[in-house]
Chain A
Amino acid sequence: MVARLLLLGLLLLLSACEKQSDSGSINLNAALGGIPADGFARAVEPRPFTFPQEHAAHPEFRNEWWYITGNLQTERGRQFGYQVTFFRIALSPNSPQTVSNWATNQVWMAHIALTDVEGQKHLHDQRFARGAAGLAGQKIQPFKVWLEDWQILGQANGDFPWTVQVANTDFSLKLTLQPEKPAVLQGKQGLSQKSSEAGNASYYYSFTRLASTGSIHYQNQDFQVTGSSWLDREWSTSALGKDQAGWDWFSLQFKAGQELMFYQLHKTSGEADQAYSQGKWIAADASTRNLSLKDVELQPLQYWQATNGTQYPIVWELNYPAIKGRWRVEAVVDDQLMETSVLYWEGAVRVLDLEKNQVVGQGYLELSGY
């Protein structure tokens, strides 16, 4: 998923020029920038993926993430969106030189968010921690990714079901995730090429439909919820092209059982990147089809303006002529801006069939580089 790689790349390399949202405190991103790619492994050719081992970290690569988004609802129909993301960032390909409990070459970052559709609210938070002294890290048997008390816990053998557990002062979330479809290897057998240079690619798989049940504690109330989540797993070392400014990324789940992932890269010049914008159509029977900008049409319909004046396209028309799909993808809450160390818009969306004007799906939209 180029989108997330770009996010992280921006975070680590470019954000020195970003506006600090949390003014008055140290700009960790700026200070952490400039980690050279030398010495890290590169994604050059397709490789076999074996599960559940792939859920574990790949520390020989510079960056990696466990990216979960989902739409949930209570029995009475109250709707929520959520995001739980763990980023692993290697500062150096070499192991630390001291035996101190605190010594590490790994830094962890996590973002969490909750979207309250009824209340039209979006809450979010971020944390950093070093991958040492038990503060953050990853284990496979049993499976665990954690940053302090935010965590994903799996089974003893490393496999699903997973439990996602996060909390801050505003809300808490505890969900169990069980795949309803097998893993989808993105790109070419899991090798996702980012730009023309060899090695500028990532290894990337998704679980596009995870049955989710659990509870949300929010505004002094407990909500029992069920719904559907989406997991992206990606690891890489490569840097992206300098002419790539941002992206519009869609992960949509249709009621009829299909999923669609598509990202449209836009260049610094403002035009869409024809060569590397791509996606995947996953049919109800889990068969897949690769997509490029030749296969889909994207048209922004409506913008939302952030307080800093930036306009984010939060309503889109998405056409997929091959299956005669014409949809309107719209944010369930306008302001789902992630005011973390890097500013981006990531939020829950609903999908409407343009012909019948009915809701036919749900998903997440990510907007960056605006």
Chain B
Amino acid sequence: MLMPSLLLRSSWRFFTRHPWQLWLTLLSIALGTAVMIAVDLANHSAAQSFQQSVNTLSSPMTHELKAVHGQIPDEFYRQLRVEWGYRDSLPEVELSLSFKGLHYSLLGLDPFATSLPASSLGSLNSGVLTRLLTEANTLIAPKDSGLQVGQVLPAGEREFTVIGLADLARSDLLLADISTVQSNATGLTRIQLKLTEAEAQALQARLPPELKLESFANQQAVFGQMTGAFSTNLLAMSLLAILVGAFLVYNTMTFSVLQRRSSFAVARMLGVTAGQLFRSLLLEACVLGLIGSALGVLLGVLLGQGLLVLVTQTISDLYVSVAPTDLLITPAIALKGVGVTLAAVLLATLAPALEAARVAPVQVQRRSRLEQTNQNLSFKLVSAGLVLMLGSALLISSSGKQLVLGFVGLFMLIVGYSLLIPWVLRKLLKLLQQATAKLTHRQLLSSMALRNLEAGLSRTSLAIIALTVAVSATIGVSMMIGSFRSSVADWLNMTLPSDLYVSALSEDASRVEGSLTLVWLDRIKTLPEVASISTGLSTRLTVEGMPLPTLVLQPAAHSERGFEFLQNTPTDAWQRFEKAEGVLVSEPFAYHYNRGVGASLQLNTEAAGVLKLPILGVFRDYSATQGMLVLPRGLYERYWQDRNISSIGLTLKQGVDTPLVQQQLQAWAKDLQPVNQSLVIRSNTEIRENSLQVFDRTFAITHVLRVLVLIVAFVGVFSALMALFLEKGREFAILRSTGFTPKQVQILVLSQAALLGLLAGLFALPLGWLMSVVLIDIINQRSFGWTMHSYFFADTPLQALLLAVVAALLASLYPVRRIGQLSIREGLYGR
């Protein structure tokens, strides 16, 4: 065991003598792990947060009763509990309110209804419950909300006073007595129940049609389905960070092997076997990987805090309203992060370790051998790269709707492309040398820069690859988001044909799902400025056994303009829809359910059981990832009793002042709408702007992840340049002693860095474009079911080139300074 301990000491000495190398390696490993852990954490916590939002009090409740529209009558609760005997039931009235820019959900419940969990309310002081019940407008706030006892929260015309603090499941949850929240209104937002499956079925059977029962487990499952694609996308972005990190580890390990070749040779001559050398290098990588990923876990938790806000925001915008909660780092998440990182690090070390172990003692010392190997290797790599890219194309085209396989294909494409780079780089540098030789008549500095770069390819090519991958990701993602945004803007223009919309909102104001009083229709009809009216009812119908968002549409004369028909929708589709002959489905629905024009779908109706309806057309839609259904009002009224509407679209006559009509509607809103039903009156421009804002917010997280990947790459470039230039200290010293000024040496180094950045930027362009194609046409459709137009943005490649050059230049600043400070003597004789 003497030898391994000797090897261990030798690697310890190596890293303590090159601390910056150690730190940069650890940093890149840590960053890769951190990004992955942070994304994992944010995804996990968002799901947790959803669970808490459906089961607010973390009570043992299992089901939730809601009204299809509006509220559950108070009397129904009495019937349910007293007459039908469902005693594990909790009535709730919910109100949303904002205070100092924060949103709260005020939950009114009956504290006597069920055994409330002690964790939430058990800590209340004696008498608080009495005050909640007897004093008007009193509530309890969570301990971690920052709210104080005695604080007054305004909500419209009412004011609520905090009279107690408790440990509540969510920091945005306020609790009050049910009568406080209900105030002068009637009706319940929901009833939570604890039911067995059999009890749930029995209850379902006797429920009136205007009420619906849903299990939390089912809601959780639907949430998982809805957000699954989103989580996968985030995870893929985080794996990209790991991939870039792995390139860096490979780079570092290769370089450290290079640097230590003489000590390895000595060790081999002393009798260390190849296997021992190999194992000690893997062990070294393992230790680096462990320390790096442990740091990464800590960093990931910090990073996760920020990401969670973005993730929950996106989920709230896209799917359902969830509130950010505390991050919950589980051993599983931490282990997964460490495990993936370790695997990547070991894999990346495998090649250099084998390299070091395979050669004979004498050979190790010969440097040319290694560069030779590299050159031979680059041929093998090109062929492997081509095979991988081909495989990627095959995998993507043959994997149907599999999102994960789509990502695997994308990763194969990236790795395959990366493998081509060393060979292309070598050829390109040769060409460049010839070109510069002709053009500049052998100007010393430029040809030196090129030759230097070429000579050090074994170190720099990896840095170039890392930078290439990071920059190409930026290009690909930018192009995808840009195209997506333009497509959404086009779609919004198309889909909002009316000038003004009156819409009733859901309780959390996130969706148009409330109901308008029918007086609205009568009033609006009297307005002389209005040319035509359409009405919509947003609801959820059971389609193919699953709840699906549905728009019940009574179109106006202009409504056809609201749909961009796709997939061979026949020209008479709209006429047939107006005659109530069938339904329209959104593109995501057609994709997920594999149903196109001419197919039919099954709907559970109130009046006629299961109904089979033909699909008349497929339209473009970006509003619901799980798909949506548009049903003609005539058809709906035939099979359902519900006569509510949730929105009215007004088309105004030519030359009418829209804001003026809007003001008139707003004035009516004051006396027409019940207090607990919020409503908005917006022009189509406002909705469009608002929607694009939501869109931008949705992609905020993608931007952040992109920057994180770039940072990892930046660390790589920095570390590679440091290695390259510091190793060449002796070379630079010779240059200095032959008459080069420090400035000239620095310019030499800077121009090499710029060239390195430029090359990476250029390599990134085709890869970025390829990535954008895969993201737009494959990943997006598989994730969300929709297609989009590809747009080309001329500034994206330019920005990418600039980004690559600037990153490389920035990374060279420190080494350049060091070179400037280095004395000739120091450089020649070593430190």
Interface residues of A (CB under 8 A from B): 16, 22-28, 30-35, 91-92, 94, 96-105, 107, 128-130, 132-135, 148-149
Contacts and interface: CB of A to CB of B under 8 A. Distances in A.
Given A33-B130, A92-B130, A135-B112, 4 more contacts: A24-B118, A34-B126, A98-B183, A100-B182
Nearest to B73: A101
A25 B88 CA distance: 13
A221 to B, nearest CB: 21
Contacts of B81: 135, 148
Interface in B122-173: 122, 124-130, 133-134, 136
B121 A26 contact: yes
Nearest to A151: B82
A27 B117 CA distance: 10
A26 B74 contact: no
Contact of B179 (A28, A33, A96, A129): A96
B183 A100 contact: yes
B739 interface: no
B177 interface: yes
Contacts, number: 113
A22 B115 contact: yes
B126 A26 contact: no
B133 A26 contact: no
B85 interface: yes
A31 B124 contact: yes
Contacts of B133: 91, 104-105, 107, 130
Contact of A107 (B112, B115, B121, B184): B112
A178 to B, nearest CB: 27
Residue of A26, A33, A135, A149 most packed against chain B (CB within 10 A) = A26
Residue of B111, B130, B178 most packed against chain A (CB within 10 A) = B130
Residue of B82, B87, B116, B117 most packed against chain A (CB within 10 A) = B82
A362 to B, nearest CB: 33
A23 B115 CA distance: 10
A11 to B, nearest CB: 12
B117 A130 contact: no
B112 A27 contact: no
B376 interface: no
A25 B113 CA distance: 12
Contact of B126 (A24, A30, A107, A135): A30
Given A26-B111, A26-B116, A130-B112, A101 B126 contact: no
A31 B118 contact: no
B79 to A, nearest CB: 9
Cβ-closest 5 pairs across A and B: A25-B115, A31-B129, A34-B127, A33-B126, A103-B179
Contact of A128 (B112, B130, B185): B112
A134 B82 CA distance: 9
Interface in B26-83: 74-75, 77-78, 81-83
Nearest to B82: A148
A99 B111 CA distance: 19
Contacts of A132: 179
B186 interface: yes
A134 B118 contact: no
Contacts of B74: 101-102, 133
Contacts of B284: none
B185 A133 contact: no
Contacts of A148: 81-82, 87
Given A26-B111, A102-B74, A16 B180 contact: no
A94 B128 CA distance: 17
A132 B184 CA distance: 15
Nearest to A107: B112
B210 interface: no
B777 interface: no
B716 to A, nearest CB: 54
B606 interface: no
Contact of A25 (B87, B116, B127): B116
A178 B630 CA distance: 66
26 contacts: A16-B126, A23-B118, A25-B116, A25-B117, A26-B121, A27-B118, A28-B111, A31-B127, A32-B126, A33-B130, A35-B127, A92-B134, A96-B136, A96-B179, A100-B183, A102-B74, A102-B110, A103-B179, A105-B133, A107-B133, A129-B112, A130-B110, A130-B133, A133-B110, A135-B82, A148-B81
Residue of A30, A92, A101, A102 most packed against chain B (CB within 10 A) = A102
B471 to A, nearest CB: 56
B495 to A, nearest CB: 41
B184 A99 contact: yes
Interface string B409-429: 000000000000000000000
A130 B126 CA distance: 18
Contacts of A30: 124, 126
Contacts of B136: 96-98
Contacts of A101: 74, 179, 182, 186
A91 B126 CA distance: 13
Contacts of A34: 126-127, 130
B266 to A, nearest CB: 69
A355 B95 CA distance: 71
Contacts of A31: 111, 121, 124-130
A248 to B, nearest CB: 28
A91 B177 CA distance: 14
Contacts of B124: 26, 30-31
A226 B77 CA distance: 36
B342 to A, nearest CB: 42
A8 to B, nearest CB: 15
Nearest to A23: B118
B144 to A, nearest CB: 20
Contact of B127 (A22, A23, A33, A99): A33
Given A31-B121, A31-B129, A98 B179 contact: yes
A219 to B, nearest CB: 20
Contacts of A16: 126
B155 to A, nearest CB: 14
B184 A100 contact: yes
Contacts of B134: 91-92, 94, 96, 105
B485 to A, nearest CB: 47
Contacts of B130: 31-35, 91-92
Contacts of A25: 115-118, 122
A107 B183 CA distance: 19
A107 B129 CA distance: 11
A26 B122 contact: yes
B115 A26 contact: yes
Contact of B178 (A23, A91, A99, A102): A102
A105 B183 CA distance: 15
A27 B184 CA distance: 29
Contacts of A102: 74, 91, 110, 177-179, 182
Interface in B174-211: 177-180, 182-186
Contacts of B126: 16, 30-34
Interface string B337-377: 00000000000000000000000000000000000000000
Contacts of B116: 25-26
B189 to A, nearest CB: 13
Nearest to B133: A91
Contact of A26 (B118, B125, B179): B118
A28 B134 CA distance: 15
B91 to A, nearest CB: 8
A134 B78 CA distance: 7
Nearest to B128: A31
Nearest to B83: A149
B160 to A, nearest CB: 13
Contacts of A149: 82-83, 85
B770 to A, nearest CB: 58
Contacts of B83: 149
Contacts of A26: 111, 115-118, 121-122, 124
A96 B75 CA distance: 20
